[in-house]
Amino acid sequence: MKVEYNRFLPVLLAVLVLTGVSFISGCKWGSWDLFGGDPVNDDRSGGNLRSSGNDDDGTGLDSDFPPAVFSAARDGSKINEPIQLYSSFDDGFEIVELTGIINRDNDGDDFKVSPVGGLVAYLSNENNGQFELFVVPVGGGDSTRISPPLSDDANVVEFKWSPDGSQIAYLADLIIDERFELYTNLANGSSNLKVSGDLPAGGEVRAFEWSPNSQRLAYIADERVLGEFELFSTPPTLANSDLVSGTFFPNRGNVTEFAWSPDSSRIAYLSNQRLGNQNELYTNLPIGGDNTDLSSDDVAEFAWAPAGSTGRLAYSTARQIFTVFQNGSSRTQITPALTDGGSIAEFAWAPDNSRIAYRADQNEAGVVELFTVTPDGGDDRKVSGELTVTGSVTDFAWAPYSDFIAYRANQDFAVTFELYVTSPDGSSGDTKVSGTPMAGDVEPDFAWSLAEDPPEPDIVRVAYRADQRTVDTIELFSSTPDGQTNDRVSGNLPEGGLVEEFAWAPDNSGIGYIADQVNLGFFELFASLPDGGKNSKLSGDIASEGDVLFFEWVP
């Protein structure tokens, strides 16, 4: 039995933080001034690309989209650019400067919005040239330091919010240069703690993940023997790690990947702990004590069944896919024999666990097609259409209600990649949903609208980037699953313009994207309704001579 020293104080602090976060996230989008942030612009003139509507939040404006947080380099010099963080409210008519300069000449992706909204965590190296971790309210105000004052050459290199938004875990070499260890802190910065075990000289924590219920962290580290990376887990409020992976590591074996079960009850991982040249799949309790080998093969990829607490996993080898329960029972090969030279490229569970989709050159070597099969190995079907000579399916994505699968392929023309939608069993045939004709290709990143509660499958769409209308001008589009409605989501781009990235709003109200829509070569943040209506510049005038680098919606 483990003794939890002073266990009530961290819990109380976490509750207080969650209460504050809940209050923050519960504020209406137009009420951000409760945080004390000052707007950088207050452009109510209608010059922000957006048409005004009914006043539903007391600001004089009708907000079509949730708030967003974005990083931007403002001066346009392209050399040692100063990067800052901003939040956008009222569809870009009110911009709040969240930070001063946080770094220079950086990718600008070192920030994360809390899963419950209200707070933004970010890294900054502007104080002393070393990367430190801070939190700031989405609506502006004082930043809180999460990492303690750093010694010379120390840096925070990675951080992740807990799923409940109460804590942050991060990797840093606080004690010894280049020895990265795992720490946690409450979102108010009041309870910093090293939670990984003592490392040997030269050791490091390589990767970490929160459990879905926020109660533990799992991490890979060479904690016991230098160069042998094992899997551990720990509570976030105690310096007390448990060994999860097996204890026998011949040939300097390593844990290479791991994943929590959806109900947080077990951890699956890949390791060559039994045979030095073979990565096998194991599961164990988060505290260890029930290590179970699920495979006797060299495993390439694995995934838990996502819906509910079934305790089932799927895994692939070079030429087969299996399903198995977490205790090792009912191991079943679910894919048929492949043609000579064929291989499994990737697979994914349907969101409701009903089927598993996979890409493979199952029938002809070098011709990768899309198939689905039930988790018990029945009813294997090819669901992609007949491919042109040299054609292949390159990517696919399940719709949130498991009703459809979108896939990208050069199915009709060998030189053109287009987007198609099919049913999980292929019974409805495949439908081309990208525009016809195509000036170029559909890009490999496409995304379905998000699942909603209660579900509204009738309004499901798939968004994608493509140079559909103009060669070398990549715009954003969305389509209904039947392909009958295809809308351009992005506004008019200059020839040669580019939509760099996009993301659905958490409530599916619209799609945000970064593009050089106004001035070629200068990237700003925009949003439109899924059908392309009410196009708004969410970044206001912040990056008119610079670039928006990354953005996240506020939940």
Say which amino acid occupies 206.
Answer: R
88-103: average pLDDT: 93
CA distance 512 to 369: 31
Q: How confident is the model at residue 43 (pLDDT cuts 50, 70, 90)?
A: very low
CA distance 11 to 236: 11
Give the model's pLDDT for residue 68: 97
**Lowest mean pLDDT, pick from 55-64, 228-237, 474-483:** 55-64
* pLDDT beyond 60 at 10: no
Q: Which two tokens stand for residue 224?
A: 């016991």
- Write out pLDDT tens, residues 385-433: 999 988 999 999 999 999 999 999 999 999 999 999 999 998 888 999 9
Give the model's pLDDT for residue 26: 37
* pLDDT beyond 60 at 205: yes
* pLDDT beyond 50 at 30: no
Element (H, E) at 21: helix 8-26
Its sign, for the CA torsion 363, 365, 368, 372, is positive
H helices, E strands: number in the chain: 1, 42
CA distance 149 to 130: 10
Give the model's pLDDT for residue 309: 84
The reported pTM is 0.87
CA distance 550 to 283: 36
Give the model's pLDDT for residue 543: 67
Say which amino acid occupies 249.
Answer: F
227-234: average pLDDT: 94
Q: How confident is the model at residue 61 (pLDDT cuts 50, 70, 90)?
A: low
73-80: average pLDDT: 66
Say which amino acid occupies 226.
Answer: L
* pLDDT beyond 50 at 11: no
* pLDDT beyond 80 at 507: yes
535 contacts 491 by C-beta, under 8 angstroms: yes
Cis check for the bond before 454: say yes or no (omega within 30 of 0).
Answer: yes
533-550: average pLDDT: 87
How many C-beta atoms lie closer than 10 Å to residue 427's C-beta? 9
Judged on CB neighbours under 10 Å (0-12, 13-18, 19+), 346 is middle
Give the model's pLDDT for residue 77: 59
Helix (H, G, I), strand (E, B) or coil at 398: strand
Give the model's pLDDT for residue 225: 87
Whole-Å CA distances, 352 to 403, 442, 446, 463: 10, 27, 20, 21
Element (H, E) at 11: helix 8-26
